């Protein structure tokens, strides 16, 4: 048989698929793949039924349903102080993942360098590789998950086309401070590069911190692609409605890729998402409070097992160092926990190019019902205290 695409043959199964399967096979509680074990709000789910019974069952426009484009940009203006054109500067995609793929394929030529902060969401690297780009990793090193400014500066070159940043950050839970972000955005401008900022956890920020989009920083509006989706904000990861907000030129290029990948995202879901976003401001305070309670409960629980988790400032993940006396790397240790504690976590090595930086951590997802979190802690306590 003829050879398959070389890039594709080197891809391994996504760690999320592997771990969810292992969790099921071993009847373990799944704190691995990032999704809530409860549904999003019933009023939002009802909107989908309504829109499917309405007149949104044929293709949506390629660039997305106008009501959704409008409401997203209204919130962007209100919360980030930036105005974008509804017709030309936003594209609705099949989840943030498609927006990431389309953006990378739209910008990166073979040989272009792409700076990628590790640990990263696994689709970033795959997209760079498919585009023929050269990934240049910058490691966020635990326990603080900060980066070294000299290292960052050295990683930029005339070949740097794009920087991939995720904020708030999965899996570390970091919400970066102004000085860190300014270091990134200044270098991006200095080298005339583009920046893709994946902000899918934009509303999951704890302790009353304010969140700023990278597009808000000086010189960044027209070189930033801001990506988000409905999945985390409304607890509906299966809906897969995402978007890319970017200048007209960048959006034009993104749309060219989008038209040949999916053409358009699922239409009834876009309509329902638009109506859900109309009520975002009423919904957010309870949403944030609920997740902050989950974070506090779970972090306390991990501490009560004798663990030393890195307290997340945002997202619904927590990174936890593997205690020194367990002589196993994360992949092996997560297997041990699935089998013996019946709790599944993500071994984060596959979020790194330099995998050894991830091998002494486990990622837990706390987007779970209180009873699930309590049950997990009780199982972990039994395991770690014996």
Evaluate whether 348 touches 171 at the Cβ level (below 8 Å). Answer: yes
Tell me the H-state helices in 36-148.
Answer: 42-53, 66-80, 95-107, 123-131
Question: What is each CA distance from 374 to 172, 295, 301, 370, in whole angstroms?
Answer: 22, 12, 8, 6
SS3 260: helix
In whole angstroms, how close is the CB of 367 to ligand PMP at the nearest point?
10
Q: Does 384 bind ligand GLN (CB under 6 A)?
A: no
User: Residue 95 binds what, of ligand PMP, ligand GLN, none (CB under 5 to 8 Å, by partner type)?
Assistant: ligand PMP
- The end-to-end CA distance of the chain, in Å, is 53
Q: Which does 269 bind (CB under 5 to 8 A by kind): ligand PMP, ligand GLN, none?
A: none
Q: How far is the CB of 275 from ligand GLN (least distance, A)?
A: 25
**E-state strands within 102-159:** 113-118, 134-139
Note whether 96 binds ligand PMP by CB under 6 A.
yes
- Least Cβ distance, residue 75 to ligand PMP (angstroms): 17
- Interface with ligand GLN, residue 33, by CB under 6 A: yes
Contact flag: residue 365 with ligand PMP (CB under 6 A): no
Please choose, from the candidates 217, 236, 225, 271, the residue with its C-alpha nearest in 3D space to the C-alpha of residue 102: 225
224 binds, among ligand PMP, ligand GLN, none (CB under 5 to 8 A by kind): none
- CA–CA dist 241, 238 (Å, integer): 9
Q: Using an 8 Å Cβ cutoff, are 297 and 373 in contact?
A: yes
Q: Examine residue 30 and tell whether it contacts ligand GLN (CB under 6 A).
A: no
Q: Are strands 90-93 and 242-245 parallel, antiparallel or unpaired?
A: antiparallel
Q: Assess 16 for contact with ligand GLN (CB under 6 A).
A: yes
The one among 23, 34, 160, 165 contacting ligand GLN by CB under 6 A = 34
Spatial separation of the C-alpha atoms in residues 29 and 343, rounded to whole Å = 5
Site for ligand PMP in 120-139 (CB under 6 A): 121
**Site size for ligand GLN (CB under 6 A):** 6
Q: Toward ligand PMP, which CB reaches closer, 170 or 334?
A: 170
Residue 231 interface partner, choices ligand PMP, ligand GLN, none, CB cut-off 5-8 Å depending on type: ligand PMP
Residue 91 within binding range of ligand GLN, rule CB under 6 A: no
User: Is residue 235 part of the contact set for ligand PMP (CB under 6 A)?
Assistant: no
**263 Rama class: left (phi>0) / alpha (psi -120 to 50) / beta:** left
167-196 binders of ligand GLN (CB under 6 A) = 170
Quick check: 200 binds ligand PMP (CB under 6 A)?
Answer: yes
Lookup: tokens for 72: 């997203």
Cβ proximity to ligand PMP: between 185 and 315 the closer is 315
347's contact among ligand PMP, ligand GLN, none, with CB below 5 to 8 A by partner kind, is none
**DSSP string covering 4-48, please?**
--HHHHTPPPPHHHHHHHHHHHTT-EE-SSS--SS---HHHHHHH
- Residue 16 binding result from ligand PMP, ligand GLN, none, given CB thresholds of 5 to 8 Å by partner type: ligand GLN
Which part of the chain contacts ligand PMP (CB under 6 A), choosing from 46-54, 147-155, 237-245, 353-361? 237-245
CB 303, min distance to ligand GLN, A: 23
| Residue 96 site contact among ligand GLN, ligand PMP, none (CB < 5 to 8 Å, cut-off depends on kind) | ligand PMP
Residue 6: C-alpha distances to residues 9, 10, 129, 130, 142 (Å)? 5, 7, 10, 9, 33
User: Residue 27 is encoded by which pair of tokens?
Assistant: 């009847």
Taking a C-beta distance cutoff of 8 angstroms, is the pair 261, 101 a contact? yes
Residues that bind ligand PMP (CB under 6 A): 34, 95-97, 121, 166, 170, 198, 200, 229, 231, 237, 240, 242
Q: Which residues bind ligand GLN (CB under 6 A)?
A: 14, 16, 33-34, 121, 170
């Amino acid at each position: 048989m003829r050879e398959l695409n070389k890039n594709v043959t080197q891809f391994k199964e996504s760690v999320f698929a592997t771990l969810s399967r292992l969790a099921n096979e071993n009847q373990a509680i799944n704190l691995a793949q990032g999704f809530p074990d409860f549904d999003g709000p019933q009023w939002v789910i009802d909107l989908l039924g309504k829109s499917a019974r309405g007149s949104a069952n044929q293709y949506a426009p390629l660039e997305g349903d106008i009501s959704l484009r409008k409401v997203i940009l209204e919130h962007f203006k209100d919360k980030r102080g930036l105005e974008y054109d509804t017709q030309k500067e936003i594209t609705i995609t099949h989840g943030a993942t498609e927006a990431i793929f389309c953006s990378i394929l739209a910008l990166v030529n073979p040989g272009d360098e792409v700076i990628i902060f590790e640990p990263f969401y696994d689709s970033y690297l795959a997209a760079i590789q498919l585009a023929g780009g050269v990934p240049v990793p910058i490691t966020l090193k635990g326990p603080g998950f900060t980066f070294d400014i000299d290292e960052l500066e050295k990683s930029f070159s005339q070949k740097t086309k794009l920087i991939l940043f995720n904020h708030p950050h999965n899996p570390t839970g970091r919400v970066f401070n102004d000085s860190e972000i300014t270091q990134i955005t200044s270098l991006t401008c200095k080298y005339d590069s583009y920046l893709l900022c994946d902000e899918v956890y934009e509303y999951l920020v704890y302790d009353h911190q304010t969140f700023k989009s990278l597009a808000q920083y000086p010189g960044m509006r027209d070189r930033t692609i801001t990506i988000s989706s409905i999945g985390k904000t409304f607890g509906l990861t299966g809906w897969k409605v995402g978007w890319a907000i970017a200048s007209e030129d960048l959006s034009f290029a993104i749309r060219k890729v989008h038209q040949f990948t999916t053409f358009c995202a699922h239409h009834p879901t876009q309509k329902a998402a638009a109506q859900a976003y109309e009520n975002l401001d009423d919904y957010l305070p309870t949403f944030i409070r609920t997740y902050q309670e989950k974070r506090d409960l779970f972090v306390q629980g991990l501490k009560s097992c004798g663990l030393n988790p890195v307290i997340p400032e945002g997202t619904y993940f927590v990174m936890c160092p593997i205690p020194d006396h367990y002589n196993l790397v994360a992949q092996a240790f997560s297997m041990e926990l699935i089998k013996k504690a019946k709790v599944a976590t993500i071994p984060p090595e596959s979020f790194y190019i330099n995998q050894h930086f991830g091998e002494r951590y486990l990622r837990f997802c706390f987007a779970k019902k209180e009873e699930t979190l309590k049950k997990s802690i009780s199982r972990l306590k039994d395991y770690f205290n014996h």
